[in-house]
């Protein structure tokens, strides 16, 4: 068991949260005009989990950086959701991704409180905006889903990174999949 404990960290996907190549190309377009280092770090932290972390109902993580629990079987204890009471690979839900990415990007656990946990709490803690910037939050109109705005590509299309139940985990999609409300999280409000 001691040997397994020493070898396990080397076998798991971790290290720097590198952004997948196909997402990196999109980021070079969407982040071209953004100069706020905190916003850039927030977007990159969220994108570092694309294709690496699965959706998990009620999934939150208070680990700054890679959480070694991700991918390991865990019982879904949050009530009322898909898979409640079943064992699933540990991961994040949508609001878990946005909160984790903020704390990880800023290297500050207090970001969890400023961003909030849960979609409705996160929406309530944002300042509404009609001109979303990279790092702002994107919400479905019924407040059932949240993601992090990447920005607009060369054609003007708005992109969002989010942890999707229907798509199986952390993905990047156009905002047109259902995002219609946008807000600036409190972590950026004092700087603006």
Query: Is the CB of residue 165 less than 8 Å from the CB of residue 50?
Result: no
| Predicted pLDDT at 3 | 43
pLDDT band (50, 70, 90) for residue 192: low
Centre a 10 Å sphere on the Cβ of residue 85 and count the other Cβ atoms it contains.
10
Q: What is the mean pLDDT of the chain?
A: 89
Tell me the angle at which helices 21-30 and 37-47 cross, rounded to the nearest 10 degrees: 150
> Is the distance from CB of 154 to CB of 94 less than 8 angstroms?
no
Residue 23: phi and psi, rounded to 5, are -80, -35
Is the entire prediction scored with pTM above 0.75? yes
Environment class of residue 59 by beta-carbon count within 10 Å: exposed (0-12), middle (13-18) or buried (19+)? buried
C-alpha–C-alpha distance, residues 164 and 54, integer Å: 8
Burial class from Cβ neighbours inside 10 Å (0-12, 13-18, 19+) for residue 146 reads buried
Give strand pairing partners of 88.
Answer: 74
pLDDT of residue 10: 39
Which of helix, strand or coil describes residue 161?
Answer: strand
**CA torsion angle for 25, 17, 33, 164 (degrees, to 10)?**
80
d(CA 137, CA 158): 12
- Whole-number pLDDT of residue 18: 74
Evaluate if residue 14 carries a pLDDT over 50: no
**Tokens 């629990």 sit at which residue?**
69
- Residues for the chain: how many in total? 192
Please state, in angstroms and rounded to a whole number, the distance separating the CA atoms of residues 83 and 89. Answer: 11
Band (84; pLDDT cuts 50, 70, 90) = confident
- In angstroms, the Cα distances linking 184 to 39, 65, 76, 90, 134 are 10, 23, 30, 29, 10
């Amino acid at each position: 068991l001691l040997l397994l404990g020493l070898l396990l960290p080397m076998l798991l996907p971790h290290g720097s949260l590198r952004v997948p190549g196909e997402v990196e190309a999109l980021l070079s377009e969407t982040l071209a005009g953004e100069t706020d280092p905190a916003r850039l770090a927030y977007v990159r932290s969220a994108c570092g989990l694309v294709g690496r972390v699965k959706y998990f109902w009620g999934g939150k993580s208070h680990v700054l950086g890679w959480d070694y629990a991700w991918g390991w079987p865990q019982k879904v204890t949050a009530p009322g959701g898909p898979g409640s009471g079943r064992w699933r690979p540990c991961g994040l839900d949508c609001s878990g991704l946005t909160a984790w990415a903020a704390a990880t990007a800023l290297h500050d656990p207090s970001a969890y409180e400023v961003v909030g946990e849960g979609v409705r709490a996160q929406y309530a803690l944002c300042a509404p905006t009609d001109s979303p910037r990279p790092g702002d939050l994107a919400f479905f109109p019924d407040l059932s889903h949240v993601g992090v705005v990447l920005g607009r590509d060369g054609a003007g299309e708005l992109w969002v990174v989010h942890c999707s139940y229907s798509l199986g985990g952390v993905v990047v999609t156009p905002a047109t999949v259902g995002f219609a409300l946008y807000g600036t999280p409190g972590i950026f409000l004092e700087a603006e």
